[in-house]
Amino acid sequence: MRNGDDHDTNMSQSEKNSFRMINTPTASNERELLEALKDVEDHFIRAYESGLDVCRMLEANRVHLQSGLEELKESSNKLIRSITWSRSPLSRSSSCKSLASCSSRSSSTWTELKTDVFDDYGGMESGSHSLTLGRLYAWEKKLYEEVKAAEQTRKTYEQKCSQMRNRNTKRDGLYSGDKTRAEVKDLHSRILVAIRSAETISERIEKLRDEELQPQLIELLHGLMRNWQIMLESHETQNRIMFEVKSFNCPTYGKFCNDSHRLATLQLVAELHNWRSCFVAFLCSQKSYIEALSGWLAKFIAPEVELCSKKRSSAPTLRVNGPPLLATCHEWLASLEKLPKEAVSCALKSFGKDMRALWVQQGEEQKHKRKVDGLAKELERKVLAFQRTESRILGSKLSEKDIEVNVRNRIEYLAERKNMLDMLRKRIDAEKLKHITVMEQTQQITVKGFQTGFYSVFGSLVEFSKASIKMYADLVTYCETTKVPEKEDEDEPSYVEEMSSYLWG
Instruction: Let me know how long the chain is.
Output: 505
pLDDT of residue 169: 63
Give the span between the Cα atoms of 266 and 240, in whole angstroms: 26
10-24, 96-110, 387-401, 455-469: range with lowest mean pLDDT? 10-24
In a domain, 210, yes or no: yes
Give the span between the Cα atoms of 457 and 455, in whole angstroms: 6
pLDDT of residue 341: 95
When pLDDT is cut at 50, 70 and 90, the band that residue 157 belongs to is confident
In a domain, 205, yes or no: yes
User: Which amino acid, one-letter code, is at 139?
Assistant: W
- Percent of the chain exceeding pLDDT 90 equals 33
Give the span between the Cα atoms of 369 and 439, in whole angstroms: 10
Give the span between the Cα atoms of 469 and 461, in whole angstroms: 12
Number of independent structural domains in the chain: 1
Domain that holds residue 118: 55-244
The stretch 349-376 carries a mean pLDDT of 90
pLDDT of residue 319: 42
80-94, 221-235, 473-487: range with lowest mean pLDDT? 80-94
Give the span between the Cα atoms of 127 and 111, in whole angstroms: 7
The stretch 467-487 carries a mean pLDDT of 82
Residue 99 has pLDDT above 70, yes or no: no
Going by the DSSP 8-state scheme, the letter that residue 84 receives in this structure is P
Work out the angle between the directed axes of helices 129-170 and 69-83 (0-180°, nearest 10): 50
149-153, 411-415, 492-496: range with lowest mean pLDDT? 492-496
pLDDT of residue 223: 94
SS (H, E, C) 311-346: CCCCCCHHHHHCCHHHHHHHHHHHHHHHCCHHHHHH
In a domain, 274, yes or no: no
In a domain, 28, yes or no: no
In a domain, 358, yes or no: no
Indicate the helix (H) or strand (E) that contains 32: strand 31-32
pLDDT of residue 279: 96
Identify the bridge partners of residue 127 per DSSP, sorted by sequence position.
124
In a domain, 396, yes or no: no
Residue 69 has pLDDT above 80, yes or no: no
User: Which amino acid, one-letter code, is at 220?
Assistant: L
Contacts (Cβ under 8 Å, ≥6 apart) of 417: 386, 389
